[in-house]
């Protein structure tokens, strides 16, 4: 059994922050949904770029690339996952580190990771179609990419998955 958590100075940094490598974008989206500050590198970013992102932001680097922990600069803050597939990745992650899947749910933009803000009623009126305004009361928006969020069917479905992750019941 190889050592997969290379604990170092970032273990004690709170709140937990992450970079997920290219192979773990799905897991990264769920960390974002739970409210964790999670960067997803661009396709084709080099290992050294990804390591620098983690290092400069005091982030855990979650990777499936066995070469990353071999790299001296990355070693102190790397989590190496061995599993294949999203469900298995999430399960393995939950077992390796203590995560609160209801840390700050749906508080970050799924697209760009920015913290969401509460828009004014006027902003909503200008940006959203009438049928959305009519059927929803609470809105959030991303100040970076101007995407609006409201509680719909997908949020309820995602909440169910977060509850499943939090309870440790994996399918």
Q: Considering only the stretches 54-62, 87-95, 101-109, 117-125, report the one whose residues sit in contact with Zn ion under the rule CB under 5 A.
A: 101-109
Strands 17-20 and 60-63 come out as parallel
Minimum distance of Zn ion from residue 38's CB (angstroms): 13
Tokens at 51, concatenated? 């390591």
In the range 120-149, which residues lie near Zn ion by CB under 5 A?
Answer: 142, 144-145
Q: Considering only the stretches 4-12, 22-30, 88-96, 108-116, report the one whose residues sit in contact with Zn ion under the rule CB under 5 A.
A: 108-116
Is residue 74 close enough to count as binding Zn ion by CB under 5 A?
no
CA distance 74 to 52: 8
Minimum distance of Zn ion from residue 166's CB (angstroms): 25
The secondary structure of 59-89, three-state, reads CEEEECCCCCCCCCCCHHHEEECCCCCHHHH
Is the distance from CB of 32 to CB of 106 less than 8 angstroms? no
Can you give the binding site for Zn ion, defined by CB under 5 A?
A: 109, 111-112, 114, 142, 144-145
């Amino acid at each position: 059994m190889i050592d997969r958590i290379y604990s170092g100075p970032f273990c004690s940094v709170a709140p937990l922050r992450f970079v997920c490598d290219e192979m773990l974008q799905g897991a990264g989206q769920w960390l974002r949904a739970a409210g964790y500050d999670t960067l997803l590198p661009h396709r084709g970013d080099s290992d050294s770029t990804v390591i620098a992102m983690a290092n400069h932001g005091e982030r855990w680097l979650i990777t499936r690339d066995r070469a990353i922990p071999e790299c001296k600069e990355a070693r102190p803050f790397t989590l190496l996952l061995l599993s294949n597939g999203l469900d298995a990745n999430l399960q393995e992650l939950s077992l390796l580190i203590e995560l609160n899947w209801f840390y700050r749910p749906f508080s970050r933009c799924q697209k760009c990771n920015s913290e969401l803000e509460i828009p004014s009623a006027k902003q909503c009126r200008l940006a959203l179609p009438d049928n959305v305004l009519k059927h929803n009361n609470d809105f959030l928006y991303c100040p970076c990419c101007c995407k609006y969020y409201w509680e719909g069917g997908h949020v309820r479905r995602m909440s169910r998955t977060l509850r499943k992750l939090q309870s440790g019941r994996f399918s």
